[in-house]
């Protein structure tokens, strides 16, 4: 986790079957099978990164009830851990945006998970619909969602895959985002529909902060709020800081935006590495 270590870390993607659903997993590191790899490549701790609204699951199966909904996403992440990660393996959860809400709910519903640390980056864990962006997104995602479906289908369905790929890669190159970190499905109408469906549920369901779960796991949590974040404005930081003065709750002083992956991924990676350094050195 040393930010000065320039050693190349292999990154590869796999499609795993989880609860009957084909799930894309981006893996960092030389390991492949956590159950059968017993050599030097087997990690002592697994860092699970749960990103913001990005639903790109396969549409063929529905073994998890409402898998594209918010609760279904929580169940799916827990099912992934139970299926592909040994019970005794220590975990670090890194959540961003709604990924923080999912991380908290995982701790709530599966307190037996051996989580040693959970990072909450720009956490959308309360009052989403009344945040500055939420006031705009709520009517679009909750009231006009089907109109968005129709428009995206009409405009994007006829586009050849080569053109979609070119648009996405050009955007990534302009933002200096490596190709392996780019999602190739944002211009797929089906994936956009899933994202809109999940987003609509977020606006409705993410209302009150889960203080009980936060209190129970406070020693494991690090919160990082932004000063220019229109999804979780500074007043949300002030409120949680007041309610949990003993917690590790930090406010960004670098004006890093909510969607930091587009412009400040290196800075956030270095901060995360620094936060985890002590925890990982003890393993």
Residue length of the chain: 283
Half-sphere exposure in the Cβ direction for 181 (13 Å, CA): 14
Helix (H) or strand (E) holding 12, with range, is strand 11-18
* Contact criterion met (CB below 8 Å) for 86 and 131: no
Q: Catalytic one among 76, 103, 118, 258?
A: 258
Please identify which of the residues 96, 97, 131, 188 carries the catalytic annotation.
97
Asked about 258 being catalytic, the answer comes back as yes
Identify the sign of the CA torsion 75, 90, 225, 214.
positive
Q: Alpha-carbon distance 185 to 192, whole Å? A: 8
Task: List b or e across 8-39, with b for residues whose CB sees 16 or more CB atoms inside 10 angstroms.
Answer: eeeeeeeeeebbebebeeeeeeeeeeeeeeee
Q: 3-state DSSP: the chain helix, strand, coil percent, rounded to 5?
A: 45, 15, 40
H helical segments located in the chain: 70-84, 98-109, 132-138, 145-156, 161-174, 189-205, 211-216, 234-243, 265-281
Q: Are 48 and 81 in contact, with CB atoms under 8 Å apart?
A: yes
Whether 229 is a known active-site residue: answer: yes
Q: Tell me which of 76, 96, 152, 229 is the catalytic residue.
A: 229
* 96 given a catalytic annotation: no
> Which residues carry out catalysis?
97, 229, 258
């Amino acid at each position: 986790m040393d930010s000065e270590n320039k050693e190349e870390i292999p990154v590869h993607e796999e499609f795993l079957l989880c609860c009957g659903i084909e799930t894309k997993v981006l893996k960092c590191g030389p390991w492949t099978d956590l159950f059968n790899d017993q050599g030097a490549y087997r990690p002592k701790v697994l860092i699970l990164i749960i990103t913001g609204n990005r639903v790109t699951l396969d549409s063929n199966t529905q073994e998890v009830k409402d898998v594209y909904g918010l609760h279904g996403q929580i169940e799916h992440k827990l099912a992934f851990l139970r299926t592909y990660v040994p019970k005794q393996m220590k975990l670090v959860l890194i959540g961003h945006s709604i990924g923080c809400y999912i991380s908290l709910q995982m701790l709530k519903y599966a307190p037996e998970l051996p989580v040693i640390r959970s990072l909450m980056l720009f956490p959308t864990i309360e009052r989403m619909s009344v945040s500055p962006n939420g006031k705009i997104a709520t009517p679009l995602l909750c009231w006009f969602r089907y109109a968005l479906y129709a428009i995206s289908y009409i405009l994007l369905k006829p586009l050849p895959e080569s053109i979609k790929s070119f648009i996405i890669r050009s955007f990534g190159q302009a933002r200096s985002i490596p190709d392996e970190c780019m999602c190739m499905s944002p211009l797929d109408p089906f994936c956009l529909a899933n994202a809109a469906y999940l987003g609509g549920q977020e606006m409705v369901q993410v209302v009150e902060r889960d203080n009980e779960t936060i209190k129970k796991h406070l020693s494991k949590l690090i919160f990082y709020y932004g000063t220019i974040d229109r999804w979780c404005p500074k007043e949300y930081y002030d409120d949680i800081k007041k309610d949990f003065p003993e917690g590790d709750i930090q406010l960004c002083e670098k004006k890093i935006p909510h969607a930091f992956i587009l412009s400040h991924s290196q800075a956030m990676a270095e901060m995360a590495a620094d936060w985890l350094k002590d925890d990982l050195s003890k393993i």
